Amino acid sequence: METNREFIEQRMRDLQSSIIAELELADGDGKFSSDYWSHSEQGGGLTRVLRNARVIEKGGVNFSAVSGKLSPKAARSLEMETETFFATGVSIVMHPSNPHVPIIHMNVRYFEGDDGMYWFGGGIDLTPHYVVEEDAIDFHKKLKAVCDQYESGFYSEFKKWADDYFFITHRNETRGIGGIFFDRLSHKNRSLSKNELAEFVFSVGHSFAPIYVGLMNKYATKAFSANEKKWQLIRRGRYAEFNLAIDRGTRFGLETGGRTESILMSLPAEAHWEYNYSPEKNSLEERTLSFLKKGINWVDYSVNEDR
Amino acid sequence: METNREFIEQRMRDLQSSIIAELELADGDGKFSSDYWSHSEQGGGLTRVLRNARVIEKGGVNFSAVSGKLSPKAARSLEMETETFFATGVSIVMHPSNPHVPIIHMNVRYFEGDDGMYWFGGGIDLTPHYVVEEDAIDFHKKLKAVCDQYESGFYSEFKKWADDYFFITHRNETRGIGGIFFDRLSHKNRSLSKNELAEFVFSVGHSFAPIYVGLMNKYATKAFSANEKKWQLIRRGRYAEFNLAIDRGTRFGLETGGRTESILMSLPAEAHWEYNYSPEKNSLEERTLSFLKKGINWVDYSVNEDR
């Protein structure tokens, strides 16, 4: 079967459906709302949002497929010369109510321009309010296992890419413990065919639900204190800072007339900013901050309780 | 007396002190904290923050005076060619706890480059959670009165500038009811001398406290409902969107290594984002949205109760 735009778009739709089915099952309470929307040029999307469910306080699983002509501004932003484009993808952010359950983000996308030009992009990254080393190791090992099925160098390259991308410069901290991030993958710059790249990207997409459901199940009923809730809201403030001030995907979407409510579903229901906040010495919060830096080799990390 | 950098810097310090004295008196409860900080190159600032006081939930009155060499990035961002610079100013944002008291922002700044190049900038703008037309009219009339003392065209020009600057493109709404905004004022592009421009800028600065104290006194004890509090938190989300995603001042500060906690004191203590929220038909919230647009001539506005 040919990996053409119709085929990829259908697989994106299927990916959205299957992830929603798995998340609804794991949450056990809420149902995702559905909003179909149309792009001003051609195409549109289906935004699905879950609110105030058992585990998830606010989360979105968005599908979109749009085509049209790139504005000069959008073309500059994408650093590419193409007149017409087609883009389809699935984008996810989950904000749980329990601070022991991490925030997670996943995105897979396909872009097609003129003359057969195309690329795939995407990634998964985890933002625990409290970093648990065993979970971070497990998360990265699972991502590495997905990558290793396709190309031995993918994980280390894309792990570094995530470290660099999900970095809040003005805080000098990473958004979370990273994951993988990749962009502009095509057979022209990789040793894989277009078919193989598509398989890789959808493998990443389908790895999302089992990874996150595992974390939901592990922590959704863990007791938490008022202080831990407060810390969660401050960490969500950092998440909002990254998404609004830094994230290129958000900026591109907002500046090119994307559907604002679909793009900003990534923002938490509630976030706090406290002037000059810093956690107590030797607290779990301070310990978490010590992990929010680039270059931690989680796959080979050995847990040292004396750290 | 010559309007040199030392003189302007001292007047900025004095402005900060006098505003804080007036705000503390009006609030009647809290005291501003004081944080001195140093810029990596030369100079520094004094960040003063009020938290959980009677009227003000979170507010900052910042003074800074820094000098050094402009990085190529900063020079591009300022669209100017100068090697060394000196900049001083006062910047204020107040987030009250009562949704009937508006959010307010004020900034005055002075920039000096090589060869006697300099400019003044600044402005005041108001972001009511609930627009009250009489207050909007009064606010704009007071700003016009300040402007009219110096130049008959200032108010209408700077009012339009504020409408254009404080605009959240992706929401298609203004941040609030505007006010005045001005930048790059010098004797070279205005009919006023440097002394007169300085007087104008400090008149704007000193108009802040009486304007805002009036609104604090008028609304701080007005009863509010849970629904009105919720609306306030959603409006604060919009404020955070503007400041993080759009505001050039914030971006310039964060990208050029300003003190993050001083810059982001502008963010509210607590903000909410609700997916696809829209107020009820014919509610006061919907009515407020109808005023969040450019080009309302508040000075000549006549209140029509049937609106």
Helix, strand, coil content of chain A in percent (nearest 5)? 45, 25, 30
Q: Span B111-140, mean pLDDT?
A: 95
Residue of A nearest to B241 (CA): A244
What local confidence, expressed as pLDDT, does residue A101 receive?
A: 98
C-alpha count within 13 angstroms, C-beta hemisphere, residue B158: 28
Residue of A nearest to B57 (CA): A274
B206 is catalytic: no
Q: Do the Cβ atoms of A275 and B245 come within 8 Å?
A: no
| CA B163 – CA A114 distance, rounded (Å) | 40
What class is the B5-300 domain?
Answer: alpha beta
Is there a contact between B168 and B246 (Cβ–Cβ < 8 Å)?
yes
- The band of B75, judged by pLDDT with boundaries at 50, 70 and 90, is confident
Is there a contact between B286 and A282 (Cβ–Cβ < 8 Å)?
no
Q: Do the Cβ atoms of B245 and A241 come within 8 Å?
A: no
What predicted TM-score, i.e. pTM, was given to this entire model?
0.94
Does residue A306 register a pLDDT over 70? Answer: no
What local confidence, expressed as pLDDT, does residue A149 receive?
A: 98
Q: Span B100-126, mean pLDDT?
A: 95
A interface with B, Cβ–Cβ below 8 Å: 33, 35, 49, 51, 58, 60, 169-171, 233, 237, 240-241, 244-245, 250-251, 254-255, 260-261, 263-265, 267-276
Q: Span A231-249, mean pLDDT?
A: 97
- Encode pLDDT of B167-213 as tens digits: 999 999 999 999 999 999 999 999 999 999 999 999 999 999 999 99
Q: Do the Cβ atoms of B272 and A269 come within 8 Å?
A: yes
- The band of B159, judged by pLDDT with boundaries at 50, 70 and 90, is very high
Residue among B171, B261, B276 minimizing CB distance to A276? B261
- The band of A255, judged by pLDDT with boundaries at 50, 70 and 90, is confident
Is there a contact between B209 and B96 (Cβ–Cβ < 8 Å)?
no
Picking from A18-22, A247-251, A282-286, which range would have the lowest pLDDT averaged per residue? Answer: A247-251
Q: Put the strands of the sheet holding A118-127 in their side by side order.
A: A33-38, A42-51, A56-69, A84-96, A103-112, A118-127, A179-185
Q: Which residues are within 8 A (CB) of A281 and not within 5 positions of it... i.e. 6 or more apart?
A: none
Handedness of CA B49, B17, B106, B46 (dihedral sign): negative
**Can you give the three-state secondary structure of A269-281, one letter per residue?**
CEEECCCCCCCCC
Does residue B39 register a pLDDT over 60? Answer: yes
Pairing of strands A103-112, A84-96: antiparallel
What local confidence, expressed as pLDDT, does residue A305 receive?
A: 56
Is there a contact between A239 and A175 (Cβ–Cβ < 8 Å)?
yes
What local confidence, expressed as pLDDT, does residue B61 receive?
A: 98
Q: How many angstroms away from the CA of B136 is the closest CA of chain A?
A: 28
What element of type H or E holds A66? strand A56-69
Does residue A96 register a pLDDT over 70? Answer: yes
- Encode pLDDT of A172-205 as tens digits: 999 999 999 999 999 999 999 999 999 999 999 9
For the record, the structure tokens of A40 come out as: 């001003």
What local confidence, expressed as pLDDT, does residue A40 receive?
A: 67
Q: Do the Cβ atoms of A275 and B237 come within 8 Å?
A: no
What local confidence, expressed as pLDDT, does residue A133 receive?
A: 97
Does residue B140 register a pLDDT over 90? Answer: yes
Residues of chain B in contact with residue A170, where contact means CB-CB under 8 angstroms, are: 254-255, 260, 263
Picking from B163-172, B230-239, B249-258, which range would have the lowest pLDDT averaged per residue? Answer: B249-258
The full set of domain ranges for chain B reads: 5-300
Q: Do the Cβ atoms of A269 and B268 come within 8 Å?
A: no
Is there a contact between B292 and B176 (Cβ–Cβ < 8 Å)?
yes
Q: How many CB pairs under 8 A join A and B?
A: 83
Interhelix angle B133-148/B194-219, nearest 10 degrees: 160
Does residue A41 register a pLDDT over 80? Answer: no
Higher pLDDT, B253 or B169: B169
Does residue B292 register a pLDDT over 70? Answer: yes
Is there a contact between B69 and B271 (Cβ–Cβ < 8 Å)?
no
Residue of A nearest to B276 (CA): A261
What local confidence, expressed as pLDDT, does residue A170 receive?
A: 95
What local confidence, expressed as pLDDT, does residue B150 receive?
A: 98
Is there a contact between A205 and A140 (Cβ–Cβ < 8 Å)?
no
Residues of chain A in contact with residue B263, where contact means CB-CB under 8 angstroms, are: 170
What local confidence, expressed as pLDDT, does residue B220 receive?
A: 98
| CA A240 – CA B2 distance, rounded (Å) | 45
